[in-house]
Every structure is written in C-alpha cells, then in structure tokens.
Amino acid sequence: MLTLFCFGKISRMAKKGKIRVITYCDSVMGMCKTSKAMPIYMYCALVAKLGNLRMEMKEAVIGFVIALLVSCTLAGFDNPLSPTGWTFANAPVADTVTDVNAGTFQGEVLDSQLPVLVEFYRPTDPHCLTMTPIVNKLATDSQGYVRVVKVDVDTNQTLTERYDVEGVPGYVLFKEGKAINGIKGEMTQPELTKWVKQELDMPTD
C-alpha cells in the first residue's frame, strides 16, 4: 500500500509536466526508511541528492517499477507483475486432509470400510510441509479406494509409539482395521501413489 501511495503521488505530480520531486522525496523517505519498502527510500534519497533534477513521467515509472520489484523480493513476494496476481512465496499450503487423534482414531481409521493411509507428521517440520500438497493431491485422487488422514506426533505420542513411527513424515497404511505396512520420508507424488497401490494390490499404471 505504501508503494502504491508513493507512486500515485508522484504520478499526479508528473501529470502536470516536468516536476521537482526533492521536497516530496524528503517526506517519503521518512515513511519508507523503517519499512520493507527500503528500496523506495533509497530511490527517493538518490533523487533528493541530485539537487535540481526534474523527472518526467517516464522516468518516474521506471524508478517505481525497479523499486517495486526489489521491495517485493525482499518482502517475500513472488513476481508482483505476474498476470496471476499477488502471491506469497512462502505462503503455507492449505491442508485438506482430516486431522485425527487418539479419540477419533478408532472411528476414522480402524472402523473404516476403505483402506486408510495415515500420515504421521509434525506441523513445523520442513519435510512434512513439503509433503502437504502431495498428500492433499493423493487424498483427492484416491477417493473410492483409500482414505487419507493425518496424526500430529507431538500431541498423539501414544499412537506414534503404538505403530512404531520413528520419523516424520511417516506413513502407515491400514486395511480392515490393521496396519499392513509403513514407510517414511519425503516422496514424489508418483512414488507415494505407487507405494499405496502396490500395498493394496492395485495396478500402478
């Protein structure tokens, strides 16, 4: 918002022709110096130090775009000029898999009519975060032959120990109320899907 405000002000001034921006830059520098818009601060400081420099609209736009790109990079944005819009590079992926615990495990997993893949995870673990979109995709694609749920190992230590989960992310496949096999570590989407299908004696191609 600060970036857009700064550019809007410069644009309105520039529309009147060649403009002197030194005074305006002095005020903008105060707002930008302590924010993530530091490149804008640097840009305005440069303009102010040039003394009697007069800027045309074209030059103002070029300076704004450069400052915007650098600012957004430092602030953690993906390409701000992307036609898909603004996105955060480190934004968490939405998790659509049901979280179960010791109280719901019996009904959600052991009593399920379908086989169930249980992911044992830790919310802050980077490997588990990497697997989140992969597990979500499997949950969507596998409807009809397997259910996918997850268990937080930090809050469900009893379940973690009962099924000998030694690391995260860990995966245990259940069928007819019994654990039939397990695996751990990061995998690609095809690898995880293939493993599940092999354990269920399903075609993998």
pLDDT tens for residues 107-122?
999 999 999 999 999 9
Domain assignment present for 189 = yes
Q: pTM for the full model?
A: 0.57
Q: Which residues pair with 171 in a beta bridge?
A: 119, 183
Cβ–Cβ under 8 Å, residues 91 and 77: no
Return the CATH number at 140.
3.40.30.10
**What is the number of domains present in the chain?**
2
Secondary structure (H, E, C), 12-59: HHHCCCCEECHHHHHHHHHHHCCCCCHHHHHHHHHHHHCCCCEECHHH
Domain of 68, in residue numbers: 2-75
The residues with which 175 forms a beta bridge, in sequence order, are 178
Residue 91 belongs to a domain: no
DSSP 88-147: BTTPPPPP-SEEE-TTTHIIIIIT-SS-EEEEEE-TT-HHHHHHHHHHHHHHHHTTTT-E
Is residue 89 domain-resident?
no
- Whether 84 is in a domain gets the answer no
Give the pLDDT confidence score for residue 63 in this predicted structure. 59
Weakest mean pLDDT among 59-63, 156-160, 180-184: 59-63
Per-residue pLDDT tens digits for 6-41: 445 544 554 454 444 444 444 444 444 444 445 554
Domain shared by 131 and 66, yes or no: no
Judge if 44 and 125 occupy the same domain: no
State the pLDDT at residue 95: 74
Contacts of 140 (CB under 8 A, 6+ apart): 96
Distance (Å, whole) CA 104 – CA 149:
11
Same domain, yes or no, for 69 and 129? Answer: no
Tell me, yes or no, whether 205 lies in a domain. Answer: no
